[in-house]
Amino acid sequence: MADTNQYVPPKVWAWNKESGGRFAKINRPIAGATHEKELRVGRHPFQLYSLATPNGVKVTVMFEELLGLGHAGAEYDAWLINIGEGAQFGSGFVGVNPNSKIPALLDRSGPEPIRVFESGAILLHLAEKFGAFLPSEPKMRAECLSWLFWQVGSAPYLGGGFGHFYAYAPTKIEYAIDRFAMEVKRQLDVLDRRLGESEYIAGADYTIADMAIWPWYGALVKGLLYEAGEFLAGREYAHVNRWTDLIAKRPAVKRGRMVNRAWGDPSSQLPERHDASDFEKAAK
Ligand SMILES: N[C@@H](CCC(=O)N[C@@H](CS)C(=O)NCC(=O)O)C(=O)O
């Protein structure tokens, strides 16, 4: 591979399939399906096609929270989409999410199925449908949506920027790691200041903004993402740590983070979820 200091971009970029990096196998410069594959459909009103990455966990936590509140209409089947094997490029999945990324949702609760992609849009769709975890008072609602969209806009710097160059890139490039470590630490400070003045992100209540932010930034300060806890001094963000621990104790969060998880400690995994009783059957 070319030395990054000497790399001179060509006039027109060309796809170099040997570019390396942990996800080189699934990265492509073109969209669309690579193969025909129908999605399976279960018996519940919601069909979720996902994986327990931070973006996936946002949605499974939301479903478990809704069910925990007694919204029986939020029953869902959670199907495993193995992105490492390219399942996001199957024709059925691309039909639900033309962007080929988990999570993707099919809402079959009405007369016609509605597709929803982008984790933030899915959280909002469910919050509006069930009138839950999204404040109705205008000021609180605006605060909640502002933080929800903050997460959607900020996390790519954490994942695609910092995480990529710190953990996955084939070479360690100081400039890139510095640039994104600086930005991610700035983001953590934004959160820490906010959580120093407010119990939850949007205010006194737990909302979809917490569900969106926790799987990324909570995991980061605890050293569970990119093994970067020490590097970024995650422990120093005291308010983020306080809030991370508070949310981790919620029973729905404990269940949600297991769904579509197919790695790690066997007791933390529930690769597919089709019934509330599936959690009891999971390995202890
Ligand atoms: N902005 C999207 C990001 C989704 C995303 O990046 N999903 C990743 C896993 S966390 C994925 O499916 N990657 C597969 C790929 O890029 O091919 C969202 O919030 O839903």
The whole-number pLDDT of residue 282 equals 78
CA 134 to ligand 1 centroid distance, Å: 23
% residues pLDDT > 90 (the chain): 91
Q: Give the residue, by CA position, lying nearest to ligand 1 atom 2.
A: 118
| Cα–Cα distance measured from residue 107 to residue 116, given in angstroms and rounded to the nearest whole number | 8
pTM for the whole structure: 0.96
The whole-number pLDDT of residue 27 equals 86
Residue type (1 letter), 97? N
Please state, rounded to an integer, the average pLDDT across all residues of the chain: 95
Stretches where the chain sits below pLDDT 50 are 1-2
225-244: pLDDT as tens digits: 999 999 999 999 999 999 99
| C-alpha triplet 51, 278, 213: angle, nearest 5° | 40
What number does the ligand 1 atom closest to the CA of 27 have? 17
- Order of strands, edge to edge, in the sheet holding 76-80? 76-80, 46-50, 104-107, 114-117
CA 104 to ligand 1 centroid distance, Å: 10
